[in-house]
């Protein structure tokens, strides 16, 4: 079936000059680079011009379906078994988008799906930019909640099938068109610019990308737990409900007292540890492991903090932001705790910032099996220490 449906020429201009393409993805699991459906809506002069919808198989090695995701969007491995993979359809997706700026409800997510999917598929990036309709809705609509169904209803669009990629893309498009009509602004960037909303960017590159996104780096460190062809057959023993919850807010959980019988020679003993970002294990478990080894844990960075464990695919190279920016690859540490820790380091407090990989190496055999393999580098490597 042709995934493109043309609606061109059905109506006169609704908002002259308002041109963009709305996008929405559904993913197979918590990793951004596991798209299993994409919906695109091309808008010309404020009218829906063409539609594109396709279910797809996620990139090989990252295609294990998490039942939690399937429960949301209804797509399973069986439903996409005969569909092409992301790499096979990206050329037609890119052709559909053309030079358009994208619109999405939570644009950062959809840009990250493109970014990670291109990375793990070994594809060149043409460079993409996307504007966020939820931020625009928050700036204009007076609602208690600006979720897609609520914002779409305010725009006069009935979202009949939420979490269907095409319907969600249509809803995002309707929100932008409605607000453009209300504010009588026909230029997309002028519309968002008047509310100080900048686009999210996915930079152009030639594969293989020499500096991958944090999301991709993080998942690569987990080994093969997202590989549908190896799940349960490679000794990982990861159950469906133990897959990393990469898209969910981390529950801080309790801060347990340090184990009084812990080995005083353990690298975590005596540290005051805080955590930020997502890890391969729930934060409550990460804290319990630290306490078992004699560390004191905290839910925030304080004057006592000596160690901050950063998830989200953080690598030690990210500490040299000026160097990365000079290379055109800036990946700033956006987490509030990381920024606060760096500020404290600048003021003289001794805080060591380490990656999830470093933390796994510190724990050694205590790290739960089946949640990724540690890197071979030393956890005591100098660049991982922000304090002088």
Q: What is the pLDDT of residues 37-96, one digit of tens each?
A: 999 999 999 999 999 999 999 999 999 999 989 999 999 999 999 999 999 999 999 999
Q: What is the pLDDT of residue 382?
A: 30
| Contact assessment for residue 352 and residue 272, using Cβ atoms and an 8 Å cutoff | no
Whole-number Å distance between alpha carbons of 273 and 296: 6
Structure confidence by residue, pLDDT tens digits, 155-175:
999 999 999 999 999 999 999
Superfamily of segment(s) 4-209:
Ribonuclease H-like superfamily/Ribonuclease H (3.30.420.10)
Q: Where are the domains positioned within the chain? A: 4-209, 249-384
Q: What is the pLDDT of residue 55?
A: 98
Q: What is the pLDDT of residue 338?
A: 86
| Of 267, 281, 242, residue with least CA distance to 354 | 267
Residue 269 — φ and ψ, nearest 5°? -60, 130
Q: What is the pLDDT of residue 321?
A: 55
Residue 199 has pLDDT above 60, yes or no: yes
Confidence of residue 279 (pLDDT cuts 50, 70, 90): confident
Q: What is the pLDDT of residue 241?
A: 64
| Of 167, 220, 158, 159, residue with least CA distance to 37 | 167
Whole-number Å distance between alpha carbons of 216 and 384: 20
CATH of the domain spanning 249-384: 3.40.50.10190
Location of structure tokens 């609509």: 141
Q: What is the pLDDT of residue 332?
A: 55
Helices 133-140 & 165-183 angle (0-180, nearest 10): 40
């Amino acid at each position: 079936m042709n995934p493109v449906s043309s609606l061109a020429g059905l109506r006169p201009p609704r908002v002259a000059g308002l041109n963009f393409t709305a996008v929405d993805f559904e993913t197979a699991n918590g990793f951004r680079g596991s798209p299993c459906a994409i919906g695109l809506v091309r808008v010309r002069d404020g009218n829906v011009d063409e539609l594109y919808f396709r279910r797809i198989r996620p990139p090989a090695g990252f295609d294990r379906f998490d039942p939690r995701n399937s429960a949301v969007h209804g797509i399973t491995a069986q439903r996409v078994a005969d569909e092409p993979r992301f790499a096979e359809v990206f050329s037609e997706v890119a052709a559909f988008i053309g030079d358009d700026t994208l619109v999405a409800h939570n644009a950062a997510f959809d840009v990250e799906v493109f970014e990670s999917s291109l990375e793990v598929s070994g594809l060149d990036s043409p460079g993409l930019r996307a504007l966020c309709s939820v931020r625009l809705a928050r700036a204009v609509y007076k609602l208690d909640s600006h979720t897609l169904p609520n914002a779409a209803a305010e725009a006069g669009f009935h979202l009949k099938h939420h979490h269907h990629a095409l319907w969600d893309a249509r809803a995002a498009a309707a929100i932008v068109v409605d607000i453009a009509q209300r504010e009588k602004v026909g230029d997309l960037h002028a519309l968002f610019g008047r509310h100080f909303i900048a686009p999210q960017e996915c930079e152009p590159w030639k594969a293989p990308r020499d500096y991958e996104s944090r999301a991709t780096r993080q998942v690569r460190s987990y080994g093969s737990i997202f590989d549908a062809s190896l799940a349960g057959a490679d000794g990982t023993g990861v159950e469906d409900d133990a897959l990393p919850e990469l898209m969910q807010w981390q529950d801080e959980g309790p801060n347990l007292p340090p184990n009084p019988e812990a080995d005083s020679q353990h690298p975590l003993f005596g540290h005051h540890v805080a955590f930020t970002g997502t890890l391969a294990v729930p934060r409550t478990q990460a804290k319990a492991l630290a306490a078992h080894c004699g560390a004191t844990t905290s839910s925030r960075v304080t004057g006592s903090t000596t160690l901050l464990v950063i998830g989200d695919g953080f690598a030690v190279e990210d500490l040299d932001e000026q160097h990365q920016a000079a290379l055109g690859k800036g990946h700033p540490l956006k987490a509030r705790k990381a920024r606060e820790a760096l500020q404290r380091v600048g003021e003289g407090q001794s805080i060591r910032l380490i990656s999830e990989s470093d933390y796994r190496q510190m724990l050694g055999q205590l790290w739960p099996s089946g949640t990724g393999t540690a890197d071979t580098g030393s956890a005591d490597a100098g660049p991982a220490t922000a304090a002088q």
